């Protein structure tokens, strides 16, 4: 019985650890642990662009600890603000800052997929809106990042109503509403 009980304790602790239910330990499931390793790589790639888009102000970080020991942890973000020298929750970012962080994460994810996927490339990126929340300087920074992607043979599609983008985009597909339905017009 003692032998079986010792084995049970080991297996039980391993199960509780993998399922994030071990008392007094960090609440991270095995699945989240593996995902967190990939997330670290995505953040590294995302920060290359986010730092550029924010003139070195913001850097994404993965929260390693939950707010309290009862919550599961491992896949939440925070942002380091170089202006204040403090780390804060991403929910405190403005609309434009959130757009830049989201764009950076999408591009970082694309980079990591390409690195790990053994030859699979993500050749296209579509950005649906979001530009309306950007001030002129932020808009310019975001467009420069997307232009850099086009220069690396990626197709970037932008869906937007922001007029300032028109002069920066060479090829356009305009969708016009008519009484008979929508029509497209291609401008090269």
pLDDT digits (tens, 9 = 90+) for 48-96: 999 998 999 999 998 876 655 555 556 788 999 999 999 999 999 988 8
Residues 45, 48: Cα–Cα separation, whole Å: 5
Going by their DSSP bridges, the two strands 172-178 and 155-159 should be labelled as: unpaired
Q: pLDDT at position 154, please?
A: 80
DSSP states of 57-106? -EEEEEE-S-SSTTSB-SSEEEEEETTTTEEEEGGGS-HHHHHHHHHHHH
Q: pLDDT at position 158, please?
A: 87
Angle at 179 between CA 178 and CA 185, to 5 degrees: 20
Q: pLDDT at position 86, please?
A: 95
Q: pLDDT at position 72, please?
A: 53
Express each pLDDT in 7-48 by its tens digit: 998 888 888 777 767 676 666 677 777 888 889 999 999 999
Express each pLDDT in 25-35 by its tens digit: 666 677 777 88
Report residue 188's pLDDT band, with 50, 70 and 90 as the boundaries. confident
Q: pLDDT at position 61, please?
A: 94
For residue 148, give every residue at least 6 positions away whose Cβ sits within 8 Å of its Cβ, in sequence order, or none: none
Residues 79, 89: Cα–Cα separation, whole Å: 6
CB 144 within 8 A of CB 165: no
Express each pLDDT in 119-178 by its tens digit: 777 788 888 877 887 888 888 888 888 888 877 778 888 888 888 788 888 888 888 899
């Amino acid at each position: 019985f003692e032998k079986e009980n010792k084995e049970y304790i080991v297996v039980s602790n391993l199960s509780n650890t993998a399922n994030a239910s071990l008392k007094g330990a960090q609440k991270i499931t095995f699945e989240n642990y593996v995902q967190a390793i990939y997330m670290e790589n995505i953040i590294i790639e995302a920060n290359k662009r986010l730092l550029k888009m924010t003139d070195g102000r913001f850097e994404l970080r993965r929260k390693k600890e939950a707010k309290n020991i009862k919550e599961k942890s491992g896949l939440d973000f925070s942002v380091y603000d170089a202006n204040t020298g403090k780390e804060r929750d991403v929910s405190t970012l403005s609309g434009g800052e959130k757009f830049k962080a989201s764009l950076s994460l999408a591009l970082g994810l694309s980079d990591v997929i390409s690195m790990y996927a053994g030859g699979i490339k993500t050749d296209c990126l579509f950005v649906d809106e979001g530009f309306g929340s950007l001030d002129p300087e932020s808009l310019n920074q975001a467009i420069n990042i997307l232009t850099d992607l086009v220069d690396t043979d990626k197709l970037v599609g932008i869906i937007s109503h922001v007029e300032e983008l028109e002069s920066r985009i060479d090829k356009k597909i305009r969708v016009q509403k008519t009484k008979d339905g929508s029509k497209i017009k291609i401008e090269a």
